[in-house]
Structure 1
């Protein structure tokens, strides 16, 4: 058996522990032959023979005198070894074979053929390659064991040290040192002069830091650099070249990537480097997939230094960038059909490499490569709810070139192809469109920085962007040009927004853009579903979108179409049908494994179950979304808390409801999700009013109205001011023993007058409206109520808000 592992993995210690463990079963002893000092392979048999004849090298057992006598005989050492081991039942440990591996292999093969009672345990950084050899990789220590080693050695270096004093730094040290025992011991020795955090912060320069090994061990084990130097010296030039180039990868690579970056020698050299424990090979996730290759972090740093010495880093990084740009570009179309799950898994697997390529393109100010990568990834970011990534990279990339949206707005030519249909270099028209695409990807993250778009400068920019394209242009039917509609949405022009979606649907039909047609129908359904007067049209669009997505095998799109249809049905009070749509959408999302999508769908299903009379089941589903935590979409968490607060408030659990709103505000701050802040303030006001705190309730409702009366909120949620007027009426009626009852009746009149045509009131809205009506009428006679109610119906939104 050969114990395999990189330098410092603890192979020698493990071999000796194993020898101790089996000593009782070895009547002729356990013997250790240390081969590290042997510098000539021809001397291996003599070194082993000497070890067997030296009493101090015996770990367990007897017979050293007999062996010493045998060792003095002037015969061939291989013959003499075979003669002396042939009749014995013993264990021979050959430690550190890697630098004399061929000689060690021939000796072991010769002995095992002639000595039936002999067992050999070897330690090496590569296999011996002997028939019948069993390989036992010595893996790096798992975190609990690595931390225990750090704690033990750290306490020896600095009495009283414990990892509990700074558990994050201790865990970082163990992780970044790959769980290698020798490296951890070297780090522990530094605790005499540095804190764990200081050590962790200096691990980018680990070879200068970790130089305080024991004086009693071999020189190659006294510093971290010496450990890796020993392995490096055993490599041939092809192996060294491939190892250097492998350092440019992030998160490992497959064979195709290694060959593209490391050249034709990659296949043979990789096998050798795996054997020599410098490259870790393991199957990637999923059945039937290829092997994946990675370097330990220590080896990455060492090989990177060696790469810099050769001056070939730019060429290696360019090959890496080109390979992963093409991988992203070729995978993007696969996200829109039956192969999307495999495409998502591939991008997830290679995401660190792709990000590294994008980072290098930005650092080199290679605008076209950076644009190509950004636009190839933007739909993946959209599907996976990676808005932070989309916003960060689009901001970086759009600043590499001129601003394509400058006043006055300049119309652009029709472009049927995508900017990433071909690799760079791009034609002038395609480059201009790619630049616009990067800005639109950034715009699509508007909810993360909404106040910036509400400034005069932001509004002017939106007008320029919205005036750049014409409804129905081919590039606006495809992502990211499709996101142009966000600019129109932010200007508050809902009629133009619908005209754009209508024109794009016509263009998709004319040009045969099948997937784009389904996506635009789904988006129009989504927009229309939020307007009760258009909800019927939304259902028709969602049906057609669902049929196309199903035909294409696009599970993500099908789930979105079902969600849009569910929203449309919910707006019409068809709660059971809406719940069925959400449940079916969840099945699609589960099939695809899109956790962010599952979070949003779970919130919608929980909410509609509550409204449809299945309160306990809906409440549990909302709590389940919260339990999913970080796996849910950014919007899912605050939405779940908001709906839970309403549910808890309606069932008299006001303290619990307030707690959800406190946590919701924290979610808002974390997600920069402020578009529906008016709704949140309104719910807070409603809860305060329900608890009899009417002055506080009105203060919150005034803030809610301020948010809900801005242009964008009136476009997206036109019914919200009416809800706030009803909530305000409840608290106005409760102030000073009903002294302001007439104002309360006026607010009810304004609430009804400003409710959008066709609006379907949810059961909660109906309950609140009925309660307000009862309390106001209890304070006024019918005639006074009707007069005040009529006066309220004649008020503008601003005038009604002033009553609050």
Structure 2
């Protein structure tokens, strides 16, 4: 049938088509030069509606218009040509085969043929489309499918979920609700069909954003949820989303059968999968967030799925839009939309495999946590940090399993303790306090794992500036270490207890404890990031005790061991203490050099605590250098960074007094208003901007400014938005290889080494 300007059904409502405006415009351009475009995406993401809307916009561009063919009713491959011919009105009087008759009919025509819902007849559709493109030069095909047709010359166009705000970015704006998020606009419009007075305002915005997020931005799911607003509030719908398939079971009776309920849409996808694809889909539901191929091979292989088969099956699920792929090559990561994941978990539970898979998932991530601790001391810290960051959601899921499953609490202690560097070096102090507190509360029996979790918990609390909680944890650890005769736990406990005493102002006691810890580490022969850190910590105390010379010697010792092993994190703290020591000696330029070295290392590890400390002391050196505005901006940046960690300057009264003194000096030098303005600029800096500003890595433009082409300027702006090369290619409708070339040219012309520097450069010209 020709594409109509209006259809009465919810699924085909084009006059109130929400969002996708950019995609529509870009698709029109692509279809002007490409004869086959396939819209691919998960069920319910809006492929059909997008195709109809594009067809409506292009109908007048073709002499014979645009024609829409719903293939859902073609139950057998042999019936496909008949269904297409019937939709096009091809006379059924020829002795030719249906496919030949269709090709003959289209040979002299110029039209856009929209084939909707090809996935269940994939091979037949591919064969038919190939034949038509060869025999009918005036025909352009726009197909929708959950995987590409695989035809030569096909342009595969992924259809993403609708745009949604971050849950942390839903604060009211001046004048009320800010439009521009497709999911929220769709929710509001569809809700008005059942409740005409409905609006998303300042009070309901957070619940609306949460609802759209929980529904993965899928138009079908949002529309079905909107119908429920007849009887439920937004908050009530969100609360009931744990059983989303039961909740979203009615509401689209006029649409295709596969779209009348959310379950029907996902059932349709599940039924089109092979047995092994269904099994892997179910097993992948054990993952939280994203996962890598290696993770899937370790957790999901078994039974009829061999390890070497996982990649092939996973790739097939990606092709079918069940699994989303992010990144390329060895950096590729995969994830399931929550809606797809919930369905897979339901199937896994029905098969009685959910507990076993959750335990296998936990065992794998427990092993990963312990390997990261063992492997941290070396040249791979940055890659370990990245890997741990990527696995964060899965660590949370594994810890939840340990806490919710009887008899698994000991494994929870092991995991939380093994993540010591993740908590402290990778910017997750608050998360560490939460999980360590939970696993310790669940562990009643004395054990070495509990002793370790206690000193790690104390270490995290001390780093946040919560010295009261830290000292309680250390006291409990010392009692348990004595009971278990565990000298290693005692040594680590004394080490971090020494820093806690330092921050309380008890410098002599701190020095005694840290010296004991250093001696104990040496006796035991332990050499790792924490034992090397102990030497730098002792140097820190020495600085505050006016022993700067000794502090520098200790920093040299710590640095030498770190550099010999390629260690970065403890080295960064040695640089920071060296900067503090030089500051106490009034050697401010040398202090700034050491602090910048520290900041670069900490940025590479995303060590927010360390970056906060570096920005703070760099502000002090800037003030001493007479660059008051710069100092005020750095203090603002440090304040924003400290806010995400805990108490500023570890809660140290002595350091806080120094900070207050510099604030007073800067307010006098600049006057309160200018100081406040500069401070506010610093508070608004991103982490990358702080690095660039503090380390003078903004790299001034070449004389006359960099000669970027118009396209390169576009690419630079997209880099500043945080887009990957693949996303830049999609936005500009160019190949990924072309996008990569533009990015390389931008970096070369600006003499930059990182995308962060490009972002900072763009920001200065905004």
TM-score range, shorter chain: 0.7 to 0.9
Preserved contact between residue 629 and residue 637 of structure 1 (Cα < 8 Å)? no
**Quick one: which of 217, 232, 239 aligns to 2:255?**
217
Query: Conserved in 1, the CA contact under 8 Å of 2:191 and 2:229?
Result: yes
* SS of 2:102 mapped into structure 1: helix
**Match in the other structure for 1:622:** 635
1:135 counterpart residue number: 156
5+ unaligned residues in a row in structure 2: which ranges?
1-36, 165-180, 684-766
Preserved contact between residue 625 and residue 636 of structure 1 (Cα < 8 Å): no
Map of 2:125 onto structure 1: 104
* SS of the residue 2:321 aligns to: coil
Q: Does 1:167 align with 2:205?
A: yes
Partner of 2:433: 391
In 2, distance between residues paired with 1:282 and 1:192?
38
Mapped contact 2:69–2:115 kept (Cα < 8 A): yes
- Residues 486 and 26 of structure 1: is their aligned pair in 2 closer, same or farther, counting only changes over 3 Å? same
Structure 1 stretch displaced more, 80-89 or 641-650: 641-650
Please list, as runs of the form range in 1=range in 2, the aligned pairs for 1:293-312 lying within 5 A after superposition: 293-312=334-353
User: Could you say if the C-alpha distance between residues 238 and 467 of structure 1 is closer, same or farther in structure 2, counting changes exceeding 3 Å?
Assistant: closer
Q: Report what 1:180 is aligned to.
A: 218
The answer to which of 28-37 and 383-392 deviates more is 383-392
After superposition, what is the alpha-carbon deviation per residue over 1:595-625, rounded to whole angstroms, capped at 9, x for unaligned? Answer: 3311111112213443565544322321232
Local SS of the residue matching 2:153: coil
1:289 aligns to what SS in structure 2?
A: helix
| CA deviation string 1:153-212 (max 9, x = no partner) | 122221122222411111112111111111111112222222222222222221122233
> For residue 274 of structure 1, what is the aligned residue in structure 2?
318
Q: Shift in Å at residue 644 of structure 1?
A: 6.1
Looking at structure 1, the residues matched to 466 and 92 of structure 2 have their Cα atoms a distance apart, in angstroms, of: 81
Q: Which whole-Å CA distance do the structure 2 matches of 1:253 and 1:318 have between them? A: 16
What is the CA-CA distance between 1:313 and the residue it aligns to? 0.4
- The question of whether the paired residues in 2 share the 8 Å contact of 1:603 and 1:621 is answered with yes
Task: Show CA shifts across 1:703-726 (max 9, x none).
Answer: xxxxxxxxxxxxxxxxxxxxxxxx
Find the residue that maps to 1:584 and give its secondary structure. helix
The answer to whether the Cα contact below 8 Å between 1:542 and 1:561 also exists between their aligned partners in 2 is yes
The answer to whether structure 1 residue 73 and structure 2 residue 94 are counterparts is: yes
Answering whether residue 378 of structure 2 is matched by residue 337 of structure 1, we say yes
My pick for the range that moved more, 266-275 or 337-346, is 266-275
Give 1:495 deviation, angstroms. 5.3
Name which of 97, 102, 105 aligns with 1:84: 105
Compare relative contact order (CA 8 Å, sep 6+) and give the higher one, 1 or 2: 2
How many correspondences in the alignment? Answer: 612
The answer to whether the Cα contact below 8 Å between 2:467 and 2:500 also exists between their aligned partners in 1 is: no
CA separation in 2, counterparts of 1:355 and 1:112? 51
Alignment partners' CA distance in 2, 1:335 and 1:193: 54
1:266 CA drift (Å) = 2.6
Q: Distance in 2 between matches of 1:96 and 1:619?
A: 60
> Does 2:535 correspond to 1:561?
no
Contact 1:358 1:373 in 2 (8 A): yes
**1:621-676, Cα deviation, whole Å (9 max, x unpaired):** 2123235575666535988997665444456669969x99xx9xxx9xxxxxxxxx
Matched, 1:535 2:548: yes
User: Which of 531, 535, 558 matches 1:521?
Assistant: 535
| Offset of residue 567 of structure 1 | 2.4
CA RMSD of aligned residues (A): 3.4
CA distance in 1, matches of 2:439, 2:541: 30
Deviations 1:2-41, CA, capped at 9 Å, x for gaps: 1111111111111122222222332133222211112222
Q: Secondary structure at the match of 1:277?
A: coil
Residues 614 and 131 of structure 1: is their aligned pair in 2 closer, same or farther, counting only changes over 3 Å? closer
Cross-structure match for 1:59: none
Corresponding residue of 2:359: 318
Note if contact 1:35-1:96 (Cα within 8 Å) is conserved in structure 2. yes
* Distance in 1 separating the partners of 2:504 and 2:596: 34
Task: Provide the C-alpha distance between the structure 2 equivalents of 1:401 and 1:629, rounded to a whole number of angstroms.
Answer: 32
SS in 2 for 1:136: strand
Structure 2 residue 299 is the aligned partner of structure 1 residue 261: yes
Query: Which of the residues 414, 432, 437 maps onto 1:372?
Result: 414
User: Corresponding residue for 1:154?
Assistant: 191
Once residues 215 and 580 of structure 2 are traced to their aligned partners in structure 1, the CA distance between those partners, rounded to angstroms, is 51
> Residues 343 and 651 from structure 1, CA distance in 2 versus in 1: closer, same or farther, beyond 3 angstroms?
closer
> Helix, strand or coil for the counterpart of 1:157?
coil
* TM-aligned CA distance change 1:30 to 1:613, over 3 Å: closer
Equivalent-residue separation in structure 2 for 1:152 and 1:107 (angstroms): 39
Distance between the aligned counterparts of 1:321 and 1:170, measured in 2?
33
Give the Cα–Cα distance (whole angstroms) in 1 for the partners of residues 119 and 197 of structure 2.
39
Q: Is the 8 A contact 2:579 2:595 kept in 1?
A: yes
Partner of 1:675: none
Q: Deviations over 1:454-505 (max 9, x none)?
A: 8xx989758746967999x55556x678546568779998656534533543
Cα pair 2:147 2:320 within 8 Å, conserved:
yes
Contact 1:2 1:135 in 2 (8 A): yes
Q: Distance in 2 between matches of 1:228 and 1:370?
A: 34
Q: Is the 8 A contact 1:559 1:589 kept in 2?
A: yes
1:435 to 433, 445, 450: 450
CA-CA distance at 1:442 after TM superposition: 2.0
- CA-CA distance at 1:308 after TM superposition: 1.1
Aligned to 1:444: 459
What TM-score does the superposition give when structure 1 sets the normalisation length?
0.70
Q: Could you tell me how far 1:444 is from its partner in structure 2?
A: 2.1
Give me the whole-angstrom Cα distance separating, in 2, the residues matched to 1:353 and 1:211.
30
SS at match of 1:142: coil
Cross-structure match for 1:381: 423
Say which SS state the counterpart of residue 109 (structure 2) adopts: coil
Deviates more, 1:484-493 or 1:202-211: 484-493
1:682-720 CA-partner distances (Å, limit 9, x unpaired): xxxxxxxxxxxxxxxxxxxxxxxxxxxxxxxxxxxxxxx
Quick one: structure 1 residues 461 and 494, their matched pair in 2 at CA, closer, same or farther if it must change by over 3 Å? farther
- 1:422 aligns with none
Q: Give the deviation of 1:511 after TM superposition.
A: 5.7
Higher Cα Rg, which structure: 1
C-alpha spacing 1:442/1:379, structure 2 compared with 1 (3 Å): same
Residues of 2 paired with 1:278 and 1:385: CA distance? 33
Q: Which range is displaced more, 367-376 or 639-648?
A: 639-648
Which residue is 1:56 aligned to?
none
The reply on whether 1:28 has 2:64 as its aligned counterpart is yes
Write the distance in 2 (CA, Å) between the matches of 1:328 and 1:190: 43
**2:45 alignment partner, one of 1, 6, 9:** 9
> In the superposition, relative to structure 1, how do residues 460 and 7 fare at CA in structure 2: closer, same or farther (>3 Å)?
closer
Q: Distance in 1 between matches of 2:222 and 2:141?
A: 29
Report deviation, 1:437. 0.6
Distance 1:401 1:154, change over 3 A: closer
* CA distance in 1 between partners of 2:369 and 2:539 (Å): 30
Q: Residue 232 of structure 1 aligns with which residue? A: 270
Q: Does the residue aligned with 2:140 lie in a helix, a strand or coil?
A: strand
Give distance in 2, aligned partners of 1:490 and 1:641: 10
Aligned to 1:247: 285
1:802 matched residue in structure 2: none
Deviations 1:88-115 (A, max 9, x none): 2222211111122222222222222322
CA distance in 1, matches of 2:336, 2:650: 38
User: Matched residues in 2 for 1:385 and 1:507: separation?
Assistant: 28
| Secondary structure, aligned partner of 2:157 | strand
SS in 1 for 2:67: strand
Structure-2 residue corresponding to 1:691 = none
Q: What secondary structure is seen at the aligned counterpart in 1 of 2:330?
A: coil
Cα offset for 1:307? Answer: 1.2
